A and B are shown apart, each in its own frame.
Chain A
């Protein structure tokens, strides 16, 4: 099957007449324990990510009296999202959009560089399945013990082990659901409510939902999610190119494979001793020696396994390794090619990442705590007053993103001699209009602008309404227009 001149082998598909069912029973995967560099990286990623997930809601951030003191909080009833010192209003949801775009480009860049590192190291499905598999291994034993336990008949010992495992799984799943809730409500408060039965039905409902889904997906479905449910594996062909680092089996070096007695030479045969360990440690149950395949999530545990075996038989490691297709093809011919991590695709992703990040940062930095919207009345456009003047009415919406009540001065410019008044607000001695808006809210006002007919520039005269915060001097303005009769 090998053809070293043409590069790594490809599996030929030959149709075989066989009556096989259209639906296959599940071949349960029993991953074997393995040690090595990538296993350590996976454990580290698991600890960091789960730690972040479970502990982040407990971080505190003081925002003053009356405001939530949780650093990370999505306040649905209050329509606010809090991230440390950043407070997002609903009309600023584009920050979330930007965050998602950043995440997407980051993912594309990581995949273009190093293949399915998301799948193998950081995807929540992988992390929780890894955790559940650890629990299973601690309670039921390593691969051989689990195989024996599953094929053994019913016994109290077996039932006790299985039950313990499932109880621990459900407990972890419930903690996962509970932690989700903590992002949407004040953590200490709602946790106390959950345990004393005082939390709302929504809270218990979501905890139940996440418990069920975590337990089912990480305990039972596992690799079925990656193979059948997740869309990400299915367009990896568009994500890699010949320079992406992927988990690769060096067939030109390993084939022809076969068991080897001690003392046999490696002439006329490959380095693969067909120990099958790479298949046994794989969490999705693939044989990486068949090449790149959908079900390989790139967790590199087979790399650790094979390197361990190669060290024992005294051969150099890297029979399965992170390498690019271009380098593999060259090395199979005895040539050497450099890594090409900096190429058009990766540079483009990196640039986009930086640009989007910069746009978001500048939007955050220039975010003001004051906004004015002026909505001119359309029915009627203008009103003739009994003294001959013309009057327009406007609805003003003032957004006060400060925590405290603020006072503002309102002016209107653009028409000589125009008189401004606001319903329900007494003008000051000099005609100044002062408006008050409560903290963290939108104030609605009805404003009237009166002008002499001769001061107008026809049917539509541009007018600028300006709002100045009295305390800080911060100001904003809104361009609008004044409607008048046709002359």
Chain B
């Protein structure tokens, strides 16, 4: 997957693309999954998190936490996994825009044809739910979830929670979510907003996140350095390859280090 020489950030892996206009949707999906640099996070199994597991993406404001999680979600949707995206900060249309934008970039990078058909085919695997920060509560989320699953509307396998403060004040919520994840065999991803004035502690986590870090199985950090955003694995099983990943600031797509 590595492109040689000084190639610009949008460089396509030329020569590796099967230019066959009639690739079936299944082939296309498979192709996108295989080419996804996320695989290089070093995990042998399909899923990065275990069932009932927690993952977090730590970064300062505006660095790309949501973009990274949306790509994790898109990858899951391509594998026919149901993703429930819960946002406490953005309205539904903004969240859906994130998905469409990143999907288009992804399809563009890997020269996927029939983009709209592919998009239509993965869309049923996503459900967006938004709450106001102040009105969000775990029982409320659980009620909505049972509304959805009882009526056979949607049963999420991956839950993304964007905008919840993952600190000691919300430890109760996080513990309740952990129990919920276990009961429903879901994998949960969170965005964690870190502040520039906070210097990380010994464990590498910010002071706010540290007290609840024990609940998390995997922690990624986005760190801007010069013109690049590095994806660092702070906690997780085999993480050597993660250090090779970057977030392209122009497209917000995950890419290999050049």
Q: Do A and B come from one complex?
A: no
Residues of B within 8 A of A (CB): none
Binding site for B on A (CB under 8 A): none
